[in-house]
């Protein structure tokens, strides 16, 4: 592989010192040089095909212009739009992101944080932390700019960009209520995730406001946000003897699992049971009967998270809101049936 062109090469070619070349190529330092010298250096740099060595400059300046992006799993369709949202601001700003998949495994997460630290990332965006995460808090406290998006870590001051969970759940529950549903079951998300917790609390609060009866059997908590758990929890609801005309699921994948469980039990949605989801992942419109869900602004969550991070990296003392809550909207499809209140 033929050696890349360095500042030294350009210096030799133009007959100036390497530091002059460095300054000529730096938009900030260029002021103190002769317009003519700058021009000469820039054109020969161009001609020689110079590409700065980010490693070297990063070593000296302690800024790598790269950030770590931690997600649970890129195959989970919730995350790619968040990633693109983040990159939509990082890339134009000259940042490069190192994406790591944690598989929601704490051991892996710890190891991956170390990997990011070794690579000298200038900041971290964590798209799916646990509610409690001492390691991340420690890293943030040591001074590494960090934001969480989609979920948040509790009892710390790491800025978070999240969707309006309470608002979205309340909206959905009211929607079911307006459509005549009175006995509504809930498949909640894992309790160790901020979204799981926020949604179940919102469900309880709104149910109370609406004077809905909420027997214990009508609420089942999942261990993971996935189809298999949705299936299992739905089966459990069905077997519990609880009576309900609708199931409000804490996310879309749980709802997809519910679809499947109902089908297996010979029940049809929405004829026998209405089902709702949360998040608004892709393809939902193509899967019958069409999942009525809460659409969260995935792209914007990523975008705004990255914007905040960039601010923090530029000025470590800047004040950032602890929580930025983005609005959601209800998208009506076919999985909810209008019924006469029992």
Partner DNA sequence: AGTATTCATGCAATCGATTGCGCAACTTTC
Partner DNA sequence: GAAAGTTGCGCAATCGATTGCATGAATACT
Q: Where does this chain bind a copy of itself (CB under 8 A)?
A: 1-2, 4, 51-56, 58-59, 64, 66, 73-75, 77, 80-81, 83-84, 87, 96-99, 101, 114-115, 117-120, 142-144, 256, 259, 282-283, 286-288, 316
44 binding DNA? (CB under 7 A): no
d(CA 285, CA 246): 19
Cis peptide before 270 (omega within 30 of 0): yes
Which lies closer to DNA via its Cβ, residue 120 or residue 167?
A: 120
Q: Which is nearer to DNA, 15 or 92 (CB)?
A: 15
Region near DNA per CB under 7 A, out of 33-41, 72-80, 85-93, 231-239: 33-41
Backbone angles phi, psi at 134, to 5 degrees: -55, -40
Determine the 3-state secondary structure of 126 from DSSP. Answer: strand
Q: How far is the CB of 36 from DNA (least distance, A)?
A: 7
Closest separation between CB of residue 67 and a copy of itself, Å?
A: 11
The backbone torsions φ and ψ at residue 248, rounded to the nearest 5 degrees and listed phi first, read: -95, 115
**In whole angstroms, what separates CA 239 from the centre of its chain?**
35
Q: What is the dihedral of CA 312, 314, 319, 324, to 10 degrees?
A: -40
Q: 222, 187 in Cβ contact below 8 A?
A: yes
Task: Give whichever of 139 and 308 is closer to DNA, judged by the CB atom.
Answer: 139
Task: Using CB under 7 A, pick the residue from 39, 47, 59, 93 that binds DNA.
Answer: 59
Shortest CA distance to 187 belongs to which of 237, 145, 146, 125? 237
Q: Compute φ and ψ for 230, nearest 5 degrees.
A: -60, -40
Whole-number Å distance between alpha carbons of 99 and 231: 31
241 binding DNA? (CB under 7 A): no
Which is closer to a copy of itself, CB of 35 or CB of 62?
62
State the minimum distance, in angstroms, from the CB of residue 27 to DNA.
10
Report the C-alpha gap between 183 and 211 in whole angstroms: 11
Q: Does 25 bind DNA (CB under 7 A)?
A: yes
If contact means CB under 5 to 8 A according to the sort of partner, which of a copy of itself, DNA, none does residue 286 touch?
a copy of itself
Please give the size of the binding site for DNA, defined by CB under 7 A. 30
The reply to whether 3 sits near DNA by the rule CB under 7 A is yes
325 backbone dihedrals φ, ψ, rounded to 5°: -105, 125
Residues binding DNA (CB under 7 A): 3-4, 6-8, 15-20, 22-23, 25-26, 29, 32-34, 36-37, 50, 52-53, 56-57, 59-62
């Amino acid at each position: 592989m033929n050696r890349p062109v360095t500042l030294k090469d350009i210096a030799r070619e133009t007959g100036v010192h390497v530091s002059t070349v460095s300054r000529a190529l730096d938009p900030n330092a260029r002021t103190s040089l002769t317009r003519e010298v700058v021009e000469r250096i820039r054109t020969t740099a161009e001609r020689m095909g110079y590409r700065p060595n980010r490693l070297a400059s990063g070593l000296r300046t302690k800024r790598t212009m790269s950030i770590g992006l931690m997600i649970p799993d890129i195959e989970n369709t919730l995350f790619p739009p968040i990633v693109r949202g983040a990159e939509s601001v990082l890339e134009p700003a000259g940042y490069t992101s190192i994406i790591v998949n944690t598989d929601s495994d704490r051991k892996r997460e710890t190891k991956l944080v170390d990997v990011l630290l070794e690579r000298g990332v200038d900041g971290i965006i964590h798209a799916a932390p646990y509610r409690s995460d001492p390691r991340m808090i420690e890293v943030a406290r040591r001074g590494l700019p960090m934001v969480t998006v989609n979920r948040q870590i509790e009892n710390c001051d790491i800025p978070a960009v999240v969707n309006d969970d309470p608002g979205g759940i309340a909206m959905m529950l009211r929607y079911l209520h307006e459509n005549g549903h009175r006995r509504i079951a809930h498949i909640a998300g894992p309790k160790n995730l901020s979204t799981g917790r926020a949604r179940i609390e919102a469900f309880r609060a709104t149910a109370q406001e609406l004077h809905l009866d909420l027997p214990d059997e009508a609420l089942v908590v999942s261990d993971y946000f996935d189809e298999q758990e949705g299936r299992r929890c739905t089966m459990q609801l069905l077997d519990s003897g609880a009576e309900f005309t609708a199931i409000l699921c804490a996310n879309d994948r749980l709802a997809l699992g519910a679809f499947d469980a109902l089908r297996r039990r010979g029940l049809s949605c929405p004829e026998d049971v209405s089902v709702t989801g949360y998040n608004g992942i892709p393809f939902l419109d193509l899967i019958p009967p069409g999942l009525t869900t809460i659409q969260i602004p995935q792209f914007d969550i990523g975008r705004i998270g990255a914007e905040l991070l960039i601010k923090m990296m530029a000025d470590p003392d800047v004040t950032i809101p602890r929580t930025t809550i983005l609005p959601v909207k209800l998208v009506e499809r076919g999985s909810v049936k209008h019924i006469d209140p029992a």
